[in-house]
Structure 1
Amino acid sequence: MDSSILLLEVADQIATITLNRPEARNALSFALMTAIEGALAKIAADPAIKVVVLAANGPAFCAGHDLKEMRTLQSREQVASVFAQCARMMTAIVRLPQPVIAKVHAMATAAGCQIVASCDLAYAADGAKFATPGVNIGLFCSTPMVALSRVVGRKPAMEMLLSGHPVDAATAQGWGLINHAVAAAELDAAVSDMARLIAAKSGYTVKVGKEAFYRQLEMDLDQAYAYTAEVMTTNMMAEDAREGIDAFMGKRPPVWRGC
């Protein structure tokens, strides 16, 4: 992992990944995407980590793909490899066992907006903005559209994609792209409070629930109920579920074992 363009810190069962290309507005170069993939793989393998916060340094959260780097590519295969790598990275966020919270302090555009949409939760400063402006430069935001259209309604998603215009944090909250828009001075505390709240839960239970959430979304109603009933049955037999129920009935704090 390139420690200069991506920072990874772990404290109190919370991992913080920080994009650190401020001079490039945290544009997703090959190297930065590779570093993010590496950090996610490391976190996925560490059951002691219960929550991930995805943040950024500099004047923007993420400006999307590194267009200067993209323009150096000479073949269709080279271009395709960039979008394939980006898809792997976004999918890794969704499939990570731990919940991921986007902490958006400023503008998130194109694939940067895609990152926000791919995270499980998202908090933004009230001055942050979100856009899928590819249409303005002749490159429709087709891959960002995948994540965007899964968290925002069709009409708002198409408005963002077709106009390329940025939307403010309040609108993004209303459309479901982010959970909360807060004052910039309150952003760190709001994200920290939620991360600590989740970290206090059973890591096993949260992992099971996150995986089930995304899988059932792709099923029809009958399949979803059959699948989640099986998930809950397995979950019910786990030690943490038994401990949690016993603790609730005994009016005491649970002691999670992670299994």
Structure 2
Amino acid sequence: MLRYDLRDTVAHVTLDRPEKKNALTMDGLDALAAAFDRAEREARVLVLHGAGDAFCAGDDIASLATLGDGTDPEALATRLYEALFGAERLSIPVVAAVDGIAYGGGFELVAAADLAVATEGSTFALPETRIGAYPPYAVARAAETCGKKRLLELVLTGEPVEAGTALDWGLLNRVVPAGELDRAVATYVDAIHESPAPAVALAKRYVHAATAAAGERERVVEGFDTIAEEPACLDAARAFLAE
């Protein structure tokens, strides 16, 4: 489900569920949050990867389909918050290495990363509203990166954008040909290591402090409580599972 590999002072965290395009289950969200905590203690940089031909297809739709009837809305919201907002709260930089689709929660992990590199064939989408949900991290943060109109286009239509468009919109730092992803990521990692860790941590903290807002966790919980009480939202998730 998730692999953690510490190489010198770089934590490589790989979403490892390729048969499901690395979609995040409830346990997977817990594992990701735990990996962030571990990397905070023993690494200087964390690199996020996806196994197989996808980065991450999003969250486990089965959890949404059973909200309030098997899945506790507050538990799901809290897990999403710890995983999706967790990268931002780390004192060490997070670099997303994207090869393939980054949809839903996968898109949000890319948005939450401090730096993001993608291969030319990668695509990005926020299809949550189509399955009766919403992207909690993206709605809180992505407008700062790509602008409100573009974020609303992604959220309201659910349509994917290509890597070149994501780069133009500020969602990525670089787009590289297939086969050059690891080298491009290593360039960033090496550059980060040239600076003292306390200076890097301080810079990251103050960059993110400008956009952090009080009550974010509570708003995520409130959002998923609302979804759990809306039959149309639950029906959309169940219909997606039935396809």
The 2-side partners of 1:62 and 1:127 are apart by: 14
The letter for the 2-side match of 1:90 is: L
* 1:89 aligned onto 2:86: no
The 2-side partners of 1:111 and 1:217 are apart by: 20
Mark the CA change 1:23 to 1:98 in structure 2 (over 3 Å): closer, same or farther. same
Count how many residue pairs are aligned between Structure 1 and Structure 2.
213
The letter for the 1-side match of 2:198 is: Y
The 1-side partners of 2:63 and 2:84 are apart by: 20
> Cα offset for 1:125?
0.5
> Cα offset for 1:200?
2.4
From 6, 10, 17, the equivalent of 2:6 is 10
RMSD, matched Cα: 1.8
Q: In the alignment, what sits opposite 2:144?
A: 150
The letter for the 1-side match of 2:23 is: A
Q: What SS class does the counterpart of residue 85 from structure 1 fall into? A: helix
Q: In the alignment, what sits opposite 1:246?
A: none
Is the Cα–Cα contact under 8 Å of residues 114 and 147 in structure 1 kept in the other structure?
no
Where in structure 1 are there 5+ consecutive unaligned residues? 220-259
Q: What SS class does the counterpart of residue 34 from structure 1 fall into? A: helix
The 1-side partners of 2:137 and 2:115 are apart by: 20
> Cα offset for 1:73?
4.2
Is the Cα–Cα contact under 8 Å of residues 84 and 105 in structure 2 kept in the other structure?
no
The letter for the 2-side match of 1:207 is: A
> Cα offset for 1:75?
3.7
Q: What SS class does the counterpart of residue 45 from structure 1 fall into? A: helix
> Which structure exhibits the higher relative contact order, with contacts defined as CA atoms closer than 8 Å and separated by 6 or more residues?
2
> Cα offset for 1:218?
5.2
The letter for the 1-side match of 2:114 is: D
Identity of aligned residues (%): 32
Larger Rg: 1
> Segments of 4+ in structure 1 off by > 6 A?
none
> Cα offset for 1:143?
4.5
Give the TM-score, by structure 1 length.
0.77
1:42-79 CA-to-partner distances (Å, cap 9, x unmatched) read 11122xx2111011102221111101243244449702
Mark the CA change 1:19 to 1:130 in structure 2 (over 3 Å): closer, same or farther. same
Report which stretch shifted further, 74-83 or 101-110.
74-83
Q: What SS class does the counterpart of residue 5 from structure 2 fall into? A: strand
Is the Cα–Cα contact under 8 Å of residues 64 and 113 in structure 1 kept in the other structure?
yes
